Amino acid sequence: MTDAAEPELPRGIALAWGVAANPQRGPKREMSVERIVEAAVEIADAEGLSAVSMAAVAARLGFTPMSLYRYVSAKEDLILLMQEEATGAPSEATRTAGGWRERLEALYREQLQHYLAHPWVLDIPISGVPATPNSAAWMDAGLSALAETDLTYTERLAVMLLVTGTSHWAGTILAGYARVERERGLDGEAISRSEDAMFRTLITADAYPELRAAIEAGAFLDESDPFAFALARGLEGVSDYIAAAAADGRRDAPGAWVVPDDADIADDKKFREARKAVRAAEKALRDAHKLERQAAREARERRARQRSES
């Protein structure tokens, strides 16, 4: 009955959920999946994912490579378990921090922290939604943060994808720098400087005017956090979207259980007027921008003429 679905489960996923039939007969087991995963994680932390070979893990535990296959059906499974171990579940603190935005930001930070502590996790190929306890916990934490909003469940998933995408991307880039630092034996600033120098010789103002300008401006030496910027913009956009959707009187798509009051405001007279005012203001802003650009162009031409005359 209940076991009918289990045989369909991919082997590694079954292991992750702890659905492993412990044998009764035969000699005592000398190892355990946990110890194997632990050893593998230690190796990966120290020397990267590529250093994790069945032989290396076995050697660290004092056994022969093939012995591991009694516990783990393939290396792929081991890696899935490593990911599960390294990623962990979100902490209580981030699961209960302030409003939805604070909680998502906390989630981002904690995920990024994990990625920086175990950068090899970023090298693991992604195939579909990982159906493991910890990844489910992260997803659940994000969704519960968004539960206070009027968003559709589909939209909540999309927002979560935005958050995890940002932490994944930030981790990828930052871990890339960290790796170069270790390989070349330089500190971050030295890398930045040498990269900047290389750019200066390769990027000409002819071929790449804007990129060259950015280099000249020292933008590549800047130490601000572009990922925090990206996340802040994204969540700002989400916040706008929530407000706009509420204003549109959009009904939540799924069934009866969702926040029902959105539709109510759509035909409210005062609200409709306010909305009309917003649209007018948007148009006014667009026009003003157009005039501003035109003025800038004219001013530039005027100056150029003055300069060529003198």
Partner DNA sequence: ACACACTGTTTACGGAATAAACAGTCCTAG
Partner DNA sequence: CTAGGACTGTTTATTCCGTAAACAGTGTGT
Task: Indicate which of DNA, a second copy, none lies near residue 20 (CB less than 5 to 8 Å, by partner kind).
Answer: none
Query: How many residues at the interface with a second copy, by CB under 8 A?
Result: 116
Q: Does 114 bind a second copy (CB under 8 A)?
A: no
Confirm if 118 and 86 have CB atoms less than 8 A apart. Answer: yes
- Using the rule CB under 7 A, is 38 a contact of DNA? no
Instruction: Please choose which of DNA, a second copy, none residue 66 contacts, taking the beta carbon within 5 to 8 angstroms, the exact cut-off set by kind.
Output: DNA
What residues from 17 to 56 belong to the interface with a second copy (CB under 8 A)?
Answer: 17
Please identify which residue in 19, 20, 65, 302 interacts with DNA, judged by CB under 7 A.
65
Q: How many residues bind DNA (CB under 7 A)?
A: 27
Smallest distance, Å, CB 72 to DNA?
Answer: 8
**Torsion (CA) 251, 257, 259, 262 in degrees, nearest 10:** 20
Distances, alpha carbon 53 to alpha carbons 13, 66, 75, 134, 182, in Å? 20, 11, 8, 24, 21
**Per-residue tokens: 71:** 């516990």
Residue type, 33: V
CB of 15 to a second copy, least distance (A): 13
Rg, the chain, Cα only: 27
Binding of DNA by 70 (CB under 7 A): yes
Q: Judged by CB under 7 A, which stretch of 5-13, 65-73, 250-258, 302-310 contacts DNA?
A: 65-73
Q: Which amino acid is at 78?
A: L
Partner touching 91 among DNA, a second copy, none, CB below 5 to 8 Å by kind = none
What string marks each residue from 159 to 178 as x (binds a second copy by CB under 8 A) or -?
x-xx--xx-xxx-xx--xx-
Of 11, 48, 13, nearest in space to 123 by CA: 48
Please name the residues in contact with 206: beta carbons below 8 A apart, sequence gap of 6 or more. Answer: none
Nearer to DNA, 71 or 115 (CB): 71
d(Cα 75, Cα 119) in Å, to the nearest integer? Answer: 19
Terminal-residue alpha carbon distance, the chain: 92
CA distance 73 to 11: 7
Q: Which of 218, 308, 309, 310 binds a second copy (CB under 8 A)?
A: 218
> Considering the complex, what minimum distance in angstroms separates the CB of residue 35 from DNA?
10
Q: Given the complex with a second copy, which of 63 and 169 has the nearer CB atom?
A: 169
For residues 71 and 14, is the Cβ–Cβ distance under 8 A? no
Task: Give the CA distances from residue 271 to residues 64, 125, 238, in Å, rounded to whole numbers and listed in that order.
Answer: 73, 48, 21
The answer to whether 91 contacts DNA (rule: CB under 7 A) is no
User: What token pair was written down for 193?
Assistant: 């400087």
Interaction of residue 158 with DNA, rule CB under 7 A: no
Least gap, CB of 61 to a second copy (angstroms): 27
What are the residues binding DNA (CB under 7 A)?
23-31, 51-56, 58, 63-67, 69-71, 74-76
